[in-house]
């Protein structure tokens, strides 16, 4: 361990530390490469190619007056919550396309929203640096904003939020470079996660048996896996060439996919501890803003900033199809809880359901 002299220039020490960290990173990549004995597409050679299947736009939800930034599904598989640039948060029954609730946040650019597991509340936040929880009331006269509960407080914009397995805890990520776990009831921070070197843009909760980890991605091109109990970063991956806009676990919990401004999506395996696939095409120029897996994990849907949605064969690494329809960049994309459809939200003010 290099000893730091108290008398040496602070900048020298910083440079030394930085160099040491970089050296270790290089060593780490070498170690990771040692057990990499086969590529994913090689393993996938023996699998049959997927036949053509049809995905069409089945519903278009119009009602937002401005860019749609985020959306989330309710556990009932048909309701969704969406948030937009003008501060509006809307709860829809996507099946009937009816709007059921609407809240106007006191800030613009509501970049994060989430549906509570019970279906009785939604959480949202954005440029207000906070995450607030709104219980959903069916009393048409009741002003939802009145029952609002401020839960999380960051020092920069809120980029993503999600409930853990219950309505009682929320996980948030922020432009201030940190993630945090909050107790909804008291508004207390239960744990904070430091390690990113710049804005954290996205997060996803692991579907594992022990359910104690989550992954985050940020502007430092890093994806980090965290232990929710200790606040420690368990693993980190730094192979993207630009901001990571979206991270999503593979259904088994053994891997996660990421979408980035470098126009690629990548798959990282947690047990092999390395990147195992890159989903890219020369003709795809713009960044992927949002990714999610189909129910079986065989397909990866990516919403891109060039207004399209690309469907990838996760195992073979090929692009299965490209979906057109949105008239501005796709900002958010989630597959429904039972995998019957996926929803995309866009800067063209609409949300679309595809199946």
Partner 1 sequence: MTIKTLSQHGVQRQQMPCLTKMERMIISMQDPDMGIKLRNQRLLITVIPHAMTGADIFEWLIKKFSISDEEALHIGQIFVKYGYIYPLKEPRNLILKVDNSPYRFQTPYYWMSTRWPASELDYAIYLAKKNIRKQGELIEYEKECYNALHKRINHTWDFVVMQAREQLRASKQRRKADRIVLECQEQAYWLVNRPPPGTLDNIDHGPERRTTNTRVQLNADFYKKEIEHNRISLARNRVKSSICLESYVKYCEQYQPHDPIMQGCLPSNPWITDDIMFWNMNCETVSVPTKLRVERWSFSFMELLSDPVGRKEFLTYLEKEFSAENLCFWQACEDVRHGETSKIPGKVDEVYKQFLAPGASRWVNIDSKTMEKTLEGFKRPHRFVLDDAQMHIYFLMKKDSYPRYLKSDLYKNLLARAVVPQETKKSVLPFIHRQRHSSPSPALATQAAEDDGKTKNSNSFKSNSGTASRL
Closest approach of partner 1 to the CB of residue 54, in Å = 9
Q: Does 147 bind partner 1 (CB under 8 A)?
A: no
Shortest distance in whole angstroms from residue 243 CB to partner 1: 7
136 binds partner 1 (CB under 8 A): yes
Q: How far is the C-alpha of 131 from the C-alpha of 127, rounded, in Å? A: 10
Residue with token string 């990282």: 268
Q: Does residue number 119 form part of the binding site for partner 1 (CB under 8 A)? A: yes
Minimum CB distance to partner 1, residue 65 (Å): 16
Residues 205-224 that bind partner 1 (CB under 8 A): 209-210, 212, 219
Nearest approach, Cβ of 108 to partner 1 (angstroms)? 9
For partner 1, the binding residues in 11-40 under the rule CB under 8 A are 13-14, 17-18, 20-21, 24-25, 27-28, 31-32, 35-40
Interface with partner 1 in residues 272-311 (CB under 8 A): 272-274, 276, 281-283, 285-287, 294-299, 305-306, 308
Which one, 15 or 104, has the nearer CB to partner 1? 15
Distances (CA, A) of 212 to 77, 116, 165, 226: 24, 18, 10, 8
The two tokens of residue 88 are 């509006």
Q: Is 142 in the site for partner 1 (CB under 8 A)?
A: no
State the Cα–Cα distance between residues 311 and 326, nearest whole angstrom: 15
Q: Which of residues 318-337 bind partner 1 (CB under 8 A)?
A: 322, 324, 328, 335
d(CA 169, CA 16): 40
How many amino acids of this chain bind partner 1 (CB under 8 A)?
A: 129
Cβ atoms of 323 and 307 closer than 8 Å: no
Choice between 239 and 308, CB closer to partner 1: 308
The residue with tokens 């710049």 is 198
- How near is the Cβ of 296 to partner 1 at its closest, in Å? 4
Q: Is 199 in the site for partner 1 (CB under 8 A)?
A: yes
The least distance separating partner 1 from the CB of residue 104, rounded to whole angstroms, comes to 19
Q: Hey, which residues between 227 and 256 contact partner 1 (CB under 8 A)?
A: 229, 233, 235-236, 241-243, 250-252, 254-255
Candidates 72, 128, 262, 292; binder of partner 1 (CB under 8 A) is 262
Residue 177 interacts with partner 1 (CB under 8 A)? Answer: yes
| β-bridge mates for residue 301, sequence order | 292, 311
Among 7, 52, 53, 140, binds partner 1 (CB under 8 A): 53
Both structure tokens of 197: 């070197």
Side-chain half-sphere exposure of 157, counting CA atoms within 13 A: 17
Residue (63 or 297) nearer to partner 1, CB: 297
Rule CB under 8 A: is residue 149 a binding residue for partner 1?
Answer: no
Rule CB under 8 A: choose which of 66, 190, 231, 318 binds partner 1.
190
Residue placing its CB nearer to partner 1 in the complex, 23 or 104: 23
- Site residues for partner 1, 88-117, by CB under 8 A, read 93, 95-96, 98, 100, 109, 111, 117
């Amino acid at each position: 361990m290099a000893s730091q002299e108290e008398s040496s220039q602070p900048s020298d020490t910083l440079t030394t530390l930085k160099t040491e960290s970089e050296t270790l990173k290089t060593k780490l990549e070498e170690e990771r490469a040692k057990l990499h004995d086969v590529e994913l597409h090689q393993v996938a050679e023996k699998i049959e190619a997927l036949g053509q299947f049809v995905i069409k736009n089945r519903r278009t939800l119009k009602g937002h007056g401005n860019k749609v930034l985020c959306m989330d599904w309710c556990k009932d598989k048909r309701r969704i919550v969406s948030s937009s640039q003008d501060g509006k948060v809307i709860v829809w029954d996507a099946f009937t396309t009816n709007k059921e609730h609407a809240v106007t946040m006191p800030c613009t650019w509501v970049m994060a929203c989430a549906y509570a597991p019970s279906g009785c509340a939604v959480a949202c936040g954005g440029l207000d640096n906070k995450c607030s929880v709104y219980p959903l009331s069916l009393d048409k006269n009741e002003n939802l904003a009145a029952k609002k509960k401020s839960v999380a407080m960051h020092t920069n914009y809120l980029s993503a939020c999600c409930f853990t397995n219950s309505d009682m805890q929320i996980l948030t990520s922020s432009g201030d470079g940190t993630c945090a776990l909050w107790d909804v009831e008291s508004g207390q921070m239960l744990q904070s996660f430091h390690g990113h070197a710049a804005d954290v843009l996205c997060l996803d909760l692991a579907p594992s048996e022990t359910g104690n980890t989550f992954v985050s991605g940020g502007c430092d091109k890093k994806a980090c896996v965290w232990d929710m109990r200790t606040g420690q970063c368990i693993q980190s991956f730094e192979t993207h060439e630009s901001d990571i806009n979206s991270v999503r676990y593979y259904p088994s919990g053994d891997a996660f996919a990421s979408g980035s401004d470098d126009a690629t999506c990548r798959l990282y395996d947690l047990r092999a501890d390395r990147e195992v696939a890159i989903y890219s095409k020369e003709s795809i120029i713009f960044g992927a803003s949002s990714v999610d897996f189909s129910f079986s994990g065989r397909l990866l849907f990516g919403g891109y900033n060039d207004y399209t949605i690309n469907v990838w064969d996760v195992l073979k690494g090929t692009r299965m199809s490209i979906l057109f329809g949105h008239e501005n960049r796709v900002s958010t994309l989630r597959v429904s809880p039972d995998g019957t459809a996926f929803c995309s939200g866009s800067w063209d003010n609409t949300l679309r359901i595809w199946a």
